[in-house]
């Protein structure tokens, strides 16, 4: 640390608290059907000695927790390098691929380092490239967000406004300018097969890899994308090292000179003029989430991805003096099931792949918080402002409902329905779309093999949740109320009002009234209920970057030789934007990764030209 300024936390220097939460409110997993999952009350401490042992253990856990979130110091330049390059790209997700391909296309010698044995990170599991238009496909469709024709000023205003003016308008402008170029370059120069997700003009908003998303199957659509991109990376002469983990940055005189890695059990040093961190976010590292995103983390039921976003590259950036931006912002949908209560010093978040049966609870059922207040639901065809229904399909509703759920007391929304659920979900009665559809992959689907068994039919995951007690199943509403841990009368009184409203055909809330056809009477036992909260795809808190994607220190100065793409970078969604309104942020998550990597390469090329 000696040679660097101490890292600040946020470019605005607002420190939202140390964030080591004192444990979430008690919410028992016990219930009518949850015999195997009851928690035992903490044993009474019988002696002072036992107390000491306990506090020693806590101190140990607290130390480990703090270490998981702490900056990682750089190391000094080695006597000799094990390899030298123009650029080192860390991570083989969307950002890493674009940065590596764009730089090698411009004649640079590039090393790509990936710690896993597989290529493609979380990115390969995604499906749709969310964007705001301006590229050739959108122009052909005459579509742009928030309005056509494509207008960079309007996009900046729209996103900056949604971020409550907390982000960086210059960064948003750079994203709006570079994003369409990135998409056209991927199609024209790299040969990517991005096509609109549906034939309507707004189909251009969600691009998918041609032929990969079938009528019944939208899982792991980008497996093919990353098979192709790996081929392109290797063809381009990028040196790819899998199973190689970056341990820290190498730094001298405030300049980043390369990385120290662990490769086949040995420590090695690779040098480069530019180091590009496209290594994912911090969302699965609970110590980092609690420390740097303490407010939103209370509302996160679980993380919707495999546990790859461990955040160490963000910590490495902090170790060389970088600040963080995007605190308390994530890219999230609603409907994560609270499978567990976190202990104060848990270092990992619970991870549950999106669409694991949770589609069943993500419908306009009766939804209340622990105080008995109704919790609004924004449909994929509704708009939150002005509140209207029957609009074109958009992911906005998923993100808005994510924000709503993460803001409830204890981050919990209690969703209640009855035994008619299967009949209703099988016909997609509520006409939901994207990942709210309770789908079943057809046995003859050409890509069924890339879908894990448990994700082929939503009922598999749903039944598992019922069996393990994450979803309660009870014969009476009174029993369900108890099983959900709600105060007496909180659920029963709502069900009474709900059933009356169903008879009348008019919702009983003043705001965000349900459509009459959504009012489905609770009259057919058994009854089901679950506590749901934020289901996070990616953290949006990471290293502060300028519009050229150079990582900057607390004085706004670029740290020489260091670039970061999302989700290792932060700031794309502003501060305190729980689910990244609107649309889970410009380019959402996989698009953000692609665009960020492309922007890093453009930044490097500019620096090379001395611009
Ligand atoms: C089932 C599912 C569906 C999704 N669908 C969508 C969707 O439709 N649209 C959307 O926008 N988003 C979607 N997402 C989210 C999106 O995929 C991710 O947020 C995004 O791809 C993350 O990209 P990334 O580049 O930040 O991280 P990654 O793709 O994870 O890439 C980072 C890579 O860096 C590597 N790495 C990390 N640390 C090190 C280190 N120390 N040394 C070496 N390598 C390291 C990691 O192993 C990883 O491979 C989905 C995610 C899932 C799981």
pLDDT of the residue at 53: 77
> What is the distance in A from the centroid of ligand 1 to the CA of 93?
6
What integer pLDDT is reported at residue 51 of this predicted model? 76
**Residue 75: half-sphere exposure toward Cβ, Cα within 13 Å:** 15
Bridging pattern class, strands 300-303 and 110-113: unpaired
Mutate which of 310, 589, 601 for ligand 1? The one with the most ligand atoms within 8 Å of its CB, which is 589
**Residue 281 CB less than 6 A away from ligand 1:** yes
Tokens of 376: 């609004």
Is the CB of residue 411 less than 8 Å from the CB of residue 403?
Answer: no
* Mean per-residue pLDDT, 186-195: 98
Q: How many angstroms from the chain centroid is the CA of residue 140?
A: 30
- Mean pLDDT in residue range 131-148: 97
Q: Is 245 helix (H, G, I), strand (E, B) or coil?
A: strand
- Average pLDDT value for the chain: 92
- Distance from the alpha carbon of residue 307 to the mean position of ligand 1, in angstroms: 10
Q: What's the pLDDT at 611? A: 77
Residue-wise pLDDT tens digits, 373-395: 999 999 999 999 999 999 988 88
Contacts of residue 422, Cβ cutoff 8 Å, sequence gap at least 6? 459
Q: Is 127 in the pocket of ligand 1 (CB under 6 A)?
A: yes
Distance 122 CA to ligand 1 centre (A): 3
**What was the pLDDT predicted at 215?**
86
Three-state SS string across 141-163, please?
CCCECCCCCCCHHHHHHHHHHHC
User: Is 357 a residue whose pLDDT tops 60?
Assistant: yes
Other residues' Cβ atoms within 10 Å of the Cβ of residue 521: 14
Tell me, in angstroms, the distance from the centre of ligand 1 to residue 239's CA: 21
The CB of 580 under 6 Å from ligand 1? The reply is: no
Helix H or strand E segment including 261: strand 255-263
Q: What pLDDT is attached to residue 46?
A: 63
The 10 Å Cβ neighbour count of residue 343 is 11
Beta strands in 118-203 (DSSP E): 129-130, 194-196
Say what the pLDDT of residue 105 is: 98
Q: Identify the H or E element spanning 171.
A: helix 169-185
Residue 21 has pLDDT above 90, yes or no: no
**From the CB of 589, is ligand 1 less than 6 Å away?**
yes
pLDDT in tens, 297-317: 999 999 999 999 999 999 999
Choice among 2-11, 56-65, 463-472, 559-568 with the minimum mean pLDDT: 2-11
Does 130 sit in the ligand 1 pocket, CB within 6 Å? yes
Q: Which residue has the higher pLDDT, 153 or 48?
A: 153
Please state the rounded mean pLDDT for residues 247-275. Answer: 98
pLDDT tens, residue by residue, 205-214:
999 999 998 8
Give the nearest ligand 1 atom to 261 CA.
42
567 touches ligand 1 (CB under 6 Å):
yes
Q: What gap in Å lies between CA 319 and CA 1, rounded to an integer?
A: 7
How far apart, in whole angstroms, are the C-alpha atoms of residue 462 and residue 105?
A: 47
Q: How many angstroms does the Cα of residue 123 sit away from the middle of ligand 1?
A: 4
Radius of gyration of the chain (CA): 24
Mean of the pLDDT values across residues 562-571? 98
What token pair was written down for 336?
A: 């994560």
Residue 5, pLDDT > 50, answer no
Where on the phi/psi map is residue 608: left (φ > 0), alpha (ψ -120 to 50), or beta? alpha
Backbone angles phi, psi at 109, to 5 degrees: -90, 115
| Closest C-alpha residue for ligand 1 atom 21 | 123
Atom of ligand 1 nearest to the CA of 245: 42
Report which protein residue has its CA nearest ligand 1's atom 4.
Answer: 126
Ligand 1 nearest-atom number relative to CA 355: 1
**Non-local CB neighbours of 227 within 8 Å, separated by 6+ positions:** none
Residue 229 Cα to ligand 1 midpoint, Å, equals: 14
Cα(115) to centroid of ligand 1, in Å? 13
pLDDT at 33: 58
Nearest atom (ligand 1) to Cα of 316 = 41
pLDDT category at 424 given cuts 50, 70, 90 is very high
Distance 332 CA to ligand 1 centre (A): 14
pLDDT tops 50 at residue 169? yes
List phi, psi (to 5°) of 389: -110, 175
Report the C-alpha gap between 198 and 424 in whole angstroms: 25
- The fraction of the chain above a pLDDT of 90, given in percent, is 87
Tell me how far CA of residue 79 lies from CA of 6, 258, 268, 271, in angstroms: 27, 13, 12, 12
Report if pTM > 0.85: yes
* Ligand 1 mutation target, pool 123, 217, 247, 582, most atoms within 8 A of CB: 123
Q: Which atom of ligand 1 lies closest to the CA of 121? A: 49
Give the Å distance between the CA of 124 and the centre of ligand 1.
Answer: 7
How many whole angstroms separate alpha carbon 563 and alpha carbon 604? 8
pLDDT at 218 (0 to 100) = 86
| pLDDT tens for each residue of 66-109 | 999 999 999 999 999 999 999 999 999 999 999 999 999 999 99
Residue appearing with tokens 């908003």: 205
- To 10 degrees, the CA torsion angle through 352, 539, 120, 218? 50
pLDDT at 44 over 80: no
The alpha carbon of 306 and the centre of ligand 1 are apart by a number of angstroms equal to 9
**Res 405: pLDDT:** 98
Cα(524) to ligand 1 centroid in Å equals 42
């Amino acid at each position: 640390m000696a040679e660097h300024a101490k890292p600040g936390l946020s470019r605005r220097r607002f420190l939202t608290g140390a964030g080591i939460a004192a444990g979430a409110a008690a919410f028992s997993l016990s219930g009518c059907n949850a015999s195997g999952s009851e928690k035992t009350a903490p044993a009474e401490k019988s002696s002072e000695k036992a107390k000491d042992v306990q506090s020693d253990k806590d101190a140990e856990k607290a130390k480990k927790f703090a270490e998981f979130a702490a900056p990682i110091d750089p190391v000094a330049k080695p006597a000799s390098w094990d390899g030298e390059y123009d650029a080192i790209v860390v991570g083989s997700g969307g950002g890493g691929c674009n940065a590596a391909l764009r730089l090698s296309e411009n004649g640079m010698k590039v090393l790509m380092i990936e710690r896993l044995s597989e290529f493609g990170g979380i990115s390969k599991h995604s499906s749709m490239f969310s964007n705001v238009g301006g590229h050739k496909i959108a122009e052909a469709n005459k579509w742009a967000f928030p309005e056509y024709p494509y207008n960079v000023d309007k996009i900046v205003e729209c996103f900056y406004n949604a971020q409550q003016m907390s982000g960086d308008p210059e960064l948003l402008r750079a994203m709006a300018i570079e994003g369409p170029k990135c998409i056209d370059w991927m199609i024209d120069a790299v040969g990517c097969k991005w096509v609109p997700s549906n034939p309507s003009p707004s189909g251009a908003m969600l691009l998918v890899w041609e032929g990969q998303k079938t009528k019944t199957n939208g899982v792991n659509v980008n497996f093919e994308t990353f098979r192709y991109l790996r081929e392109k990376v290797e063809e381009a002469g990028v040196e790819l090292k899998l199973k190689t983990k970056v341990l820290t940055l190498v730094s001298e005189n405030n300049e980043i000179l390369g990385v120290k890695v662990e490769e086949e059990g040995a420590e090695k040093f690779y040098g480069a003029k530019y180091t590009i961190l496209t290594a994912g976010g911090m969302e699965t590292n609970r110590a980092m989430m609690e420390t740097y995103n303490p407010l939103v983390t209370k509302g996160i039921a679980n993380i919707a991805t495999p546990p790859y976003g461990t955040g160490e590259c963000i910590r490495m950036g902090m170790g060389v003096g970088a600040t963080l931006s995007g605190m308390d912002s994530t890219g999230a949908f609603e409907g994560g099931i609270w499978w567990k209560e976190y202990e104060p010093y848990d270092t990992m978040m619970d991870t549950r792949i999106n669409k694991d049966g949770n589609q069943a609870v993500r419908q306009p059922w009766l939804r209340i918080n622990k105080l008995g207040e109704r919790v609004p639901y924004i449909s994929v065809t509704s708009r939150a402002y002005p509140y209207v229904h029957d609009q074109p399909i958009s992911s906005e509703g998923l993100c808005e409902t994510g924000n709503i759920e993460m803001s409830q007391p204890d981050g919990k929304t209690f969703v209640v329905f009855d035994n008619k659920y299967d009949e209703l979900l099988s016909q997609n009665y509520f006409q939901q779309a994207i990942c709210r559809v309770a789908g079943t992959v057809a046995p003859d689907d050409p890509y069924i093999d890339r879908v894990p068994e448990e994700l082929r039919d939503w009922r598999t995951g749903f039944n598992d949740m019922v069996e393990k007690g994450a979803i309660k199943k009870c014969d009476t509403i009174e029993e369900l109320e108890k099983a959900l841990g709600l105060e007496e009368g909180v659920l029963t009184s709502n069900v009474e009002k709900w059933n009356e409203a169903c008879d009348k055909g008019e919702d009983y809330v003043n705001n965000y009234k349900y459509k009459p056809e959504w009012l489905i009477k609770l009259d057919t036992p058994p009854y089901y209920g679950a506590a749901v909260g934020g289901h996070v795809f990616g953290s949006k808190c990471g290293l502060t970057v300028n519009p050229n994607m150079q990582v900057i220190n607390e004085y706004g100065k670029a740290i020489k030789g260091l670039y970061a793409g999302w989700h290792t970078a932060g700031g794309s969604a502003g501060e305190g934007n729980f689910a990244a309104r609107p649309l889970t942020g410009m380019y959402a998550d996989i698009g953000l990764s692609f665009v960020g990597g492309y922007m890093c390469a453009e930044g490097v090329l500019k620096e090379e030209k001395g611009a």
